[in-house]
Amino acid sequence: MNGWELSLVLVGVWVLSGLTGTALMLRQGYHHPLWFLWGVLLGPLAAPVLLERAEDTARLVSAPRRGRPRGGLTVIVGVDGGSGSHHSAEAVRDLLGPRAGRLILTKVVDFDTAGGDGEPGKHLARTERALLDYARGVDELDPVVEVVAGRPADALLELARQENADLIVVGPPHHMFGGTCRSLVLHSPIPVLVAPARSRAYAAHRS
């Protein structure tokens, strides 16, 4: 192996080790593209340096709507932005009726979105507006609205623990929420309801 080939091998090892550190950051709930650049620059130092700076515990980012204390079951509704998930709170209303007490509509964002100004701040503001619009659709349940940072399944489970929730509801799996649904079903100590997307036939039946 000549010097040129050895250099290529060393560069490849450097980049791959850095991307491994970046992959660990992605698993921790960090999704900004700049983490890839940091991984390439830091190489084998990426994993210890980046993970030392990373948060690993879900935390509340904002609560633009608090709701009022209600008797009945406490239900966490995870909203992932898909059209199907927008029927999750309606499913709670239809299935539980007056037994539905405290309803918490929750959107989980990554730590980068939760901790920055500029574009992350704008994204957070859009998320809050979308959740508030969603909450108005089930206003009779007076839902709480919260934005939480972390990995989706871990964040929902931690919120359920803190709120002593009775039920977690998520929409039909797609994209990121596919793995989230699986993880919730496997690890949640309380029941998990995966609400189907409301079909035309279902809507006609309910009407």
Rounded to an integer, what distance in angstroms lies between the CA atom of residue 130 and that of residue 112? 19
**Mind listing the pLDDT tens digit for each residue in 95-141?**
888 788 899 999 998 877 766 667 767 888 888 898 898 888 888 88
Q: Identify the residue with better confidence: 49 or 107.
A: 107
Q: Are residues 81 and 49 in the same domain?
A: no
- pLDDT category, 190, cuts 50, 70, 90? very high
Q: Are residues 37 and 78 in the same domain?
A: no
Q: Are residues 125 and 140 in the same domain?
A: yes
Q: Are residues 98 and 165 in the same domain?
A: yes
What one-character-per-residue DSSP string does 4-59 give?
HHHHHHHHHHHHHHHHHHHHHHHHTT---THHHHHHHHHGGGHHHHHHHH---S-E
Q: How many independent structural domains does the chain possess? A: 2
**Mind listing the pLDDT tens digit for each residue in 10-19?**
667 766 776 6
| Beta-ladder partners of 78 | 106, 170
Strand ordering across the sheet containing 144-149: 59-65, 144-149, 100-109, 73-78, 167-170, 192-194
Of 34, 53, 72, the one marking the end of a domain is 53
Residue type, 78: G
Q: Identify the residue with better confidence: 106 or 20.
A: 106
**Is the distance from CB of 78 to CB of 177 less than 8 angstroms?**
yes
Distances (CA, A) of 147 to 30, 43, 66, 119: 16, 33, 12, 17
Token pair 């650049």 is found at 37
**Mind listing the pLDDT tens digit for each residue in 148-161?**
988 889 899 999 99
CATH number for the domain spanning 109: value is: 3.40.50.620
Q: Are residues 72 and 163 in the same domain?
A: yes
**Mind listing the pLDDT tens digit for each residue in 28-44?**
656 666 656 656 666 66
**Mind listing the pLDDT tens digit for each residue in 54-108?**
556 778 888 888 887 778 899 999 987 665 566 788 888 888 887 888 999 999 9
Q: Are residues 133 and 38 in the same domain?
A: no
DSSP 99: G
Q: Are residues 141 and 197 in the same domain?
A: yes
DSSP 118: S
Q: Are residues 38 and 128 in the same domain?
A: no
Q: Are residues 112 and 16 in the same domain?
A: no
**Is the distance from CB of 172 to CB of 194 less than 8 angstroms?**
yes
Q: Are residues 143 and 190 in the same domain?
A: yes
Q: Are residues 30 and 110 in the same domain?
A: no
Average pLDDT over residues 174-184: 70
Q: Are residues 63 and 48 in the same domain?
A: no
Rounded to an integer, what distance in angstroms lies between the CA atom of residue 91 and that of residue 121? 31
Which residue segment(s) compose the domain that 46 sits in? 3-53
